[in-house]
Amino acid sequence: MAIVLDGNRIRDEILAECRPRVDALAAAGRRPGLAVILAGNNPASEIYVRNKIKTCQALGIYSEKIVPAATATTEEVIELVESLNNRPEIDGILPQLPLPPQMDAKRVQLAVSPDKDVDGLHPLNLGRLAAGLPGLRPCTPAGILELLKRYRIPIGGKHAVVVGRSDLVGKPVALLLMHQHATVTICHSRTPNLAEVCARADILVAAMGRPALLTRDFIKPGATVIDVGTNRISYRAEAARIFRDSAEKLAEFDRKGSLLVGDVDPMDVAEIAGAYTPVPGGVGPLTISMLMVNTIEAAERNLGRACSA
């Protein structure tokens, strides 16, 4: 029987560890502060931001949601970011992705001070990650490492295959796994014999945004499978195919009008893997918890600099 890696449980552990750190900062005269920039009219982004603000409030972290005009330009958002860079009570700045098409997301991210880059996506922080130096880490990859460590899944000496090469997940999680002494292979859409490469993995990380693409042929028996994908299925026939006409899942589809599925076939992975993350409830909950960790870490560093000044 495969072990289901419960992201909700690990999230709760991490948040419980955050509370005394927030209390210590508050006792020192400053709460951590997070500013989230919500640009455009993306319903999914609005939900993500609402959950981030709610988590901040639960921990005692000061938070602001800033909503630029729908027609805001790249230059206007960069000006906003620069104003937040100069506010000492703001420790973390998060431009919620994706930004509207008229904005240059790369330029906006580059405008965020590396010390306040709680997404961990500034080139300086990514460079520190590549060099194995301390710094703010991308939230989802950092959450994956916490999940593996807290479930005591061995990483050192294992063969890890990462499917997906994005700056957000694929590249940084590969670096984090290498720093833990895994042998890492990065795959993508042009990798020949993808199933054969994946089937050699002791740890398989799927992060390419293709619903249920990785089937049993991609999974080594007993492997640990980390499914980062979150794909919404809106066609009942597709849901029936993926979930093998499961009465329970089809009833859920009829009730909600859609289902979430990862990048890995949910039925195959449960049969073949030794451990795996479900979708939902696996990697997703860890992203916000690691955002809180980054915000607290940034505040602790800022307090240390203020005390030594």
> What CA–CA distances, in Å, run from 244 to 67, 119, 238, 266, 275?
43, 37, 10, 10, 21
CB atoms within 10 A of CB 90: 23
* Residues 6 or more apart whose Cβ sits within 8 Å of residue 9: none
Cβ contact 85:116 at 8 Å: yes
263 in catalytic set = no
Q: Is the peptide bond before 280 cis (omega within 30 degrees of 0)?
A: yes
Catalytically annotated residue among 91, 96, 158, 227? 96
**CA dist., res. 213 & res. 78, Å (int):** 38
* Beta pairing, strands 3-4 & 275-276: parallel
> What CA–CA distances, in Å, run from 283 to 13, 45, 114, 223, 279?
14, 17, 25, 17, 8
**CA dist., res. 288 & res. 49, Å (int):** 10
Catalytically annotated residue among 52, 158, 220, 249? 52
Residue with tokens 């009219």: 41
* Residues 6 or more apart whose Cβ sits within 8 Å of residue 194: 163, 187, 218
57 in catalytic set = no
Structure tokens at 218: 């991609």
Catalytically annotated residue among 91, 117, 119, 202? 119
Question: Chain-centre distance of CA 30, in angstroms?
Answer: 27
Q: What's the chain's Rg over C-alpha atoms? A: 20
**What's the half-sphere exposure (Cβ side, CA atoms, 13 Å) at 162?**
22
Assign residue 60 a region: left if phi > 0, alpha if psi is -120 to 50, beta otherwise?
left
Active centre residues (catalytic): 52, 96, 119
